[in-house]
Amino acid sequence: MKKTFYLAAIALLLTAPIARAQLGTTTGTTTVNVTVAAEAALTVGSTTNLTSTGTNFSSYTGTTSLTYFIRTTQSGGSGFIKLEVTTDFAPAGGPSVATPPTTGDALNYSCTVANPGNNGTATACTSPTTASTTSQTSVATFGADNRSVIGGNSASVGWTLTNDPKYKTGSYSAVVTFTISAS
């Protein structure tokens, strides 16, 4: 018994320096983890001018171009692009989205949306859709596992604003806010 103990003690004493030397290593590994989640982003031109061309009192038209980036969850995911008139036309006397000067006056739009590019299909809004100051209206919807290209995919909104003779002359501006979401 004593002999075994002494041998063990000697072995420990001899191996201690070796064990210490093994704390370092010439190679080692690290696992790199990343969780890729649903995401969406959007770039929008800052200003769109609506102009009337052609016959008198034909509607004002213009186009807002968008570039969207989207990735929806592989299973059960979805996404959308919506817009809302967050600041109505001003100053007073001209067009108004919230309170049309004449029944039928409206800011309508149509949508052109390229497919995401890497997977999935974009569904553009029903044309025409009437913009609102009180609720978001659709530009496009996306299904599960929709993925855009790295440079983004294009979309555009074509505006049509009634040219009501009732409008006073002048320049009017409104703010439209676009929102993109993915889950």
Given the rule CB under 8 A, which residues bind another protein? 23-41, 69-74, 77, 116, 118, 145, 147-150, 152
Rank residues 1 and 23 by Cβ distance to another protein and give the closer one: 23
CB of 108 to another protein, least distance (A): 30
Rank residues 50 and 180 by Cβ distance to another protein and give the closer one: 180
Rank residues 88 and 145 by Cβ distance to another protein and give the closer one: 145
CB of 175 to another protein, least distance (A): 22
Rounded CA gap, 95 and 75, in Å?
44
Whether the bond into 128 is cis, omega within 30 of 0: yes
CB of 183 to another protein, least distance (A): 10
Give the pairing type, strands 173-182 and 79-90. antiparallel
Contact call for residues 145 and 74 (beta carbons, < 8 A): yes
Mention every residue, 6+ apart, whose C-beta is less than 8 A from residue 65: 44, 45, 154, 155, 156
Rank residues 25 and 46 by Cβ distance to another protein and give the closer one: 25
Give the pairing type, strands 79-90 and 117-119. unpaired
CB of 62 to another protein, least distance (A): 27
Rank residues 29 and 47 by Cβ distance to another protein and give the closer one: 29
CB of 168 to another protein, least distance (A): 41
Burial of 133 (0-12, 13-18, 19+ CB in 10 A): middle
Enter the tokens of residue 58. Answer: 């034909």
